[in-house]
């Protein structure tokens, strides 16, 4: 992004959310950390790591259907090498429910056995965390097989903590999506804006569209050209935007293009995979 248009967004409810999570962490046995498969590195909030401390973590690499399998395998290799506990999920179908429950029970095996020796059954209490729009609430609903948590395809839908009980002896604490308080790395901020973790109303959509154009120029040029029927992919970003407006008929009048429609179309097409399955972040060394 240009230097005078730095992305920063940390509304008041996120400060309250972090405080609530810090107060609640002592009440849980483990943490479910939901990551968007398209931007795994960008979805890591350093403040979460400080808060979680030594609690066991089960990473959910969510929205697997939005990336290519070969790209996802690179992250699987990375997580395996690090010894992280994780599940690859799509959050909506609920197909991974049994795997997630089994992983949670393994993570908490010592605690479960300790209570079992006393003749007691102890529920597993897990806090579900993640940056906005990674699919935390949708994941919880898929685990419940019904709608319990409030969901929405935009950041900031979940505002307060919500406890949800599963029949398998698991209690989940749904928490609001929370971003780092500052983005020192603007590439991370850009990627989070691409996937909708940062509210569109607080970013410059023209700048975001130009960044997406740059990305596709370097990574998947033909898909972009085919989508917008461009004869060539100019190095001039404004020419590309003009070409999209012209080919899509985005006109204010006979002599002026409707650029806002272009910005919204490109960003929406990216998020709805009309520009292909794209992974933004890769493990170091890839």
Res 151: pLDDT:
43
φ, ψ dihedrals at 143, nearest 5°: -70, -30
Q: Is the distance from CB of 271 to CB of 200 less than 8 angstroms?
A: no
Separation of first and last alpha carbons in the chain: 24
pLDDT number for residue 160: 54
* pLDDT averaged over 10-residue windows placed end to end, the chain, 286 residues: 52 79 93 97 92 95 95 97 95 83 95 91 93 91 68 47 84 90 83 92 90 95 97 96 97 92 97 94 84
Q: What is the pLDDT of residue 110?
A: 92
pLDDT at 203: 87
Residue 137 is predicted with a pLDDT of: 86
* Per-residue pLDDT at 285: 67
DSSP lists the bridge partners of residue 253 as 256
Nearest to 132 by CA among 62, 79, 55, 235: 62
* The predicted structure's pLDDT at residue 24: 92
The pLDDT assigned to 91 comes to: 64
E strand or H helix at 252 = strand 251-253
Task: Retrieve residue 14's tokens.
Answer: 């996120």
Tell me whether strands 85-88 and 57-62 are parallel, antiparallel or unpaired.
parallel
pLDDT at 147: 52
The CA distances from residue 41 to 192, 217, 284, in Å, are 10, 22, 10
pTM for the structure as a whole: 0.88
In order of start, what are the domains of the chain with their CATH numbers? 12-174 (3.40.50.300), 204-271 (1.10.1580.10)
Q: What is the pLDDT of residue 142?
A: 86
- Express the helix, strand and coil content of the chain in percent, nearest 5 each: 45, 15, 40
């Amino acid at each position: 992004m240009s230097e005078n248009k730095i992305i920063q967004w940390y509304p008041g409810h996120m400060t309250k959310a972090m405080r609530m999570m810090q107060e609640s962490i002592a009440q849980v046995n483990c943490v479910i950390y939901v990551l968007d498969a398209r931007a795994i590195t960008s979805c890591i909030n350093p403040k979460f790591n400080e808060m979680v401390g030594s609690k066991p973590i089960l990473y959910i690499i969510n929205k697997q259907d939005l990336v290519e399998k070969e790209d996802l395998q690179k992250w699987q290799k990375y997580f395996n090498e690090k010894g992280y506990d994780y599940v690859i999920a799509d959050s909506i179908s609920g197909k991974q429910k049994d795997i997630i429950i089994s992983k949670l029970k393994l993570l908490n095996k010592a605690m479960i056995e300790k209570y079992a020796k006393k003749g007691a059954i102890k529920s597993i209490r897990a806090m579900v965390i993640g940056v906005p729009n990674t699919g935390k609430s949708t994941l919880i609903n898929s685990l419940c097989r019904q709608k319990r948590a409030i969901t929405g395809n935009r950041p900031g839908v979940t505002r307060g903590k919500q406890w949800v009980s599963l029949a398998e002896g698991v209690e989940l604490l749904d928490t609001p999506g929370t971003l780092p308080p500052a983005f020192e790395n603007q590439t991370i901020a850009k990627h989070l804006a691409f996937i909708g973790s940062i509210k569109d109303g607080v970013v410059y959509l023209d700048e975001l569209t130009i960044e997406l154009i740059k990305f596709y120029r370097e990574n998947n040029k033909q898909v972009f050209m085919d989508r917008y029927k461009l004869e060539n992919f100019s190095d001039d970003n404004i020419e590309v935007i003009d070409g999209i407006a012209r080919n899509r008929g985005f006109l204010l009048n006979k002599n002026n293009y409707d650029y806002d429609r272009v910005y919204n179309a490109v960003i929406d097409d990216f998020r709805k995979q009309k520009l292909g399955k794209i992974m933004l972040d890769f493990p170091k060394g890839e």
